[in-house]
A = this chain, B = another copy of it.
Amino acid sequence: MDPSTREVETKEIDIKSVSSSQGHSQRYPQNEPYMHKVGIPPKQNLFKEFKTTVKETFLADDPLRHFKNQTRSRKFILGIQAIFPILEWGKDYNFTKFRGDLIAGLTIASLCIPQDIGYAKLANLDPQYGLYSSFVPPLVYAFMGSSRDIAIGPVAVVSLLLGTLLQNEIDYKTNMAEYRRLAFTATFFAGITQAALGIFRLGFLIDFLSHAAVVGFMAGAAITITLQQLKGFLGISNFTKKSDIVSVMNSVVKSAHHGWNWQTIVIGASFLGFLLFAKYIGKKNKKFFWVPAIAPLISVVLSTFFVYITRADKEGVQIVKHIEKGINPSSVNQIYFRGDYLLKGVKIGVVAGMVALTEAAAIGRTFASMKDYQLDGNKEMVALGAMNIVGSMTSCYVATGSFSRSAVNYMAGCQTAVSNIVMSCVVFLTLEFITPLFKYTPNAILAAIIISAVLGLIDIEAACLIWKIDKFDFVACMGAFFGVVFVTVEIGLLIAVSISFAKILLQVTRPRTALLGKVPRTTVYRNIQQYPNAAKVPGVLIVRVDSAIYFSNSNYIRERILRWLTDEEEQNKTVNEQKVQYLIVEMSPVTDIDTSGIHALEDLHKSLEKRGVQLVLANPGPVVIDKLHASHFANIIGEDKIFLTVADAVSSCSPKPVEEV
């Protein structure tokens, strides 16, 4: 090709490559003014820089944006509204909205009442505490929360987790009073934790529990819960306190020959069948969503009536027996504020609070994006925290958003958090008047309801998807799952978190790097493993680094590059090819570099000099260029050794770039 075109091209490339996006510059062959625009970007004011960093970290969602240039009084009103969003959306609340909320509220109420009674058992608490937790917290949330679709109340996983953790400290069988007090204490500090995370804008911390880990954890919890239900389902009297599959199966088998009760099994099995069938219908046809929603209540009513007339409880069918009548008693004076139970309560509360938060946040996020309204994660946390703090003082245990009920709530056409108010009104009436009717409700039904509910937590599709997308995620997922199923819920959680962290560390310690080759008939340089037909340029080794260069990976990157050089040279020896004279490092993906990174580059440069190999950089981003200059490394290797595209670099390296290979 004739030099003139080459000339022009190079210039074009200059402009093209300085941004990480490419363009059709060939449309404008005459654009000298913009040449070498990469240069050093305008220096930022230090304080400003710092401020933006802090802002992005803690106030990423800029919570005070609405307060900007407002009058004092207006600010105050806005402040109140920020704490109690109901004042904001309450203004334009109308009847149509209310109709939606009413229907939704009634639906989730019918779903939550039987679930609550069952979940309370998971937490080793008396049934009414489940109902209590569906009365106060939803009210509080309705005033403070900003999600329109979330359905508040006790949930299976948190109930199980809380139950396990509390049981580790106090045995509920022998010492119910203290157990309950510790439960309230834990709930209180769960609320404190959630509120604190929100207030200090640390919401992003829950992101460290990766989606994959959550999927695994939930599935594991579902299995564990189902196993726990075998007690009520098979009517086993003496059941293990452990939650892992091995010991549960043991006590099931042990009790096989005497402990089981066929009437219980018949009732349980038949109604479980009914519930699953209802679920199936709901799945089949979205407009029958209400079938699975009310099925639990129906089966409770039917089974209770059935047991009442047949007096099957005399046949050994375990029944709920007694639910305390009346609304939440105060439990303020029951929370431990001193003594060694305080610390235990805090520990349990923090864990339970975080898990509850993860679930609620996921739900809020999902529905917010489905109806497209912004949700301030941190504000949500404050709301959830407040709700649990108030709850802990009114005999509730940790409540949060329930996946299943929120979905029903959404499908039933809820418009605002009013649906939660409706629900809690229904719960209130239940507590006040109809709890006695639950006397003859067989535990088997509750077991069946819980099983059919938690089965929804096992998301095999998601697991498959994770497997397909990211193997490492899958490991985290399985780790969490088996941890929960075979050991305990805490262990599973621990595994999940630590694997997630391990992944982060791995990611920043061992970034991808690739050898680039020239794709025939173009001047594009690509990963030769990805594109086998890409050909190496004799005498030139091109390496791309696929990550920011930080202290945690700088040495690795340095060594990796050097090793590639060594390998290359050894190969060349064997096939006595041209010796490597230039090493081009393609830096497009290197978004940032720190002091250690600069040092690594300097060391690399030194070693290469010793070997008579010239280091060449291609297309470093603005931030990197800036730091290369700040550290004078640019001068060390020479400005003219920093090119704007690999193609440029190559053509400068080898006097005449080889065409076809």
Contact = CB atoms under 8 A, between A and B. Distances in A.
Contacts of A62: 563
A302 interface: no
B21 A9 contact: no
Contact of A552 (B19, B23, B207): B207
Contacts of A31: 521-522
A16 B526 CA distance: 10
Nearest to A550: B507
Nearest to A542: B21
Contacts of A552: 207-208, 210, 500, 504
A56 interface: yes
A469 interface: yes
A53 B25 CA distance: 39
Interface in A179-207: 204, 207
Nearest to A519: B34
A201 to B, nearest CB: 12
Contacts of A249: none
A159 interface: no
A505 interface: yes
Interface residues of A, number: 120
Contact of A594 (B46, B210, B524): B210
A599 to B, nearest CB: 6
B505 A504 contact: yes
A655 interface: no
A243 interface: no
Contacts of A25: 522-524
Interface stretch (A84-92, A268-276, A368-376, A481-489): A368-376
A58 to B, nearest CB: 9
A17 B26 CA distance: 15
A623 B546 CA distance: 11
A603 B365 contact: yes
A555 B555 CA distance: 31
Interface stretch (A145-153, A226-234, A282-290, A604-612): A604-612
A64 interface: no
Contact of A516 (B19, B208, B610, B619): B19
Interface in A482-541: 500, 503-512, 516, 519, 521-527, 530-531
Main SS at interface, chain A: helix
Contacts of A603: 365-366, 369
Interface string A609-628: 01100000011011100010
A313 interface: no
Contacts of A16: 22, 522, 524
A594 B468 CA distance: 10
A465 B365 contact: no
A596 interface: yes
Contacts of A591: 511-512, 546-547, 589
A16 B472 CA distance: 31
A41 interface: yes
Nearest to A547: B591
Interface string A201-241: 00010011011100000000000000000000000000000
Interface of A: 1, 5, 9, 13, 15-28, 31, 33-34, 37, 41-42, 46, 49-50, 53, 56-57, 60-62, 204, 207-208, 210-212, 365-366, 369-372, 374, 377, 465-466, 468-473, 500, 503-512, 516, 519, 521-527, 530-531, 544, 546-548, 550-556, 559-560, 562-563, 566, 586, 588-589, 591-592, 594-596, 598-599, 603-604, 606-607, 610-611, 618-619, 621-623, 627, 630-631, 645-647
Name the 7 nearest CB pairs between A and B, nearest first.
Answer: A372-B610, A23-B523, A210-B551, A19-B526, A23-B647, A21-B646, A369-B603
5 contacts: A18-B526, A21-B544, A22-B619, A210-B552, A469-B595
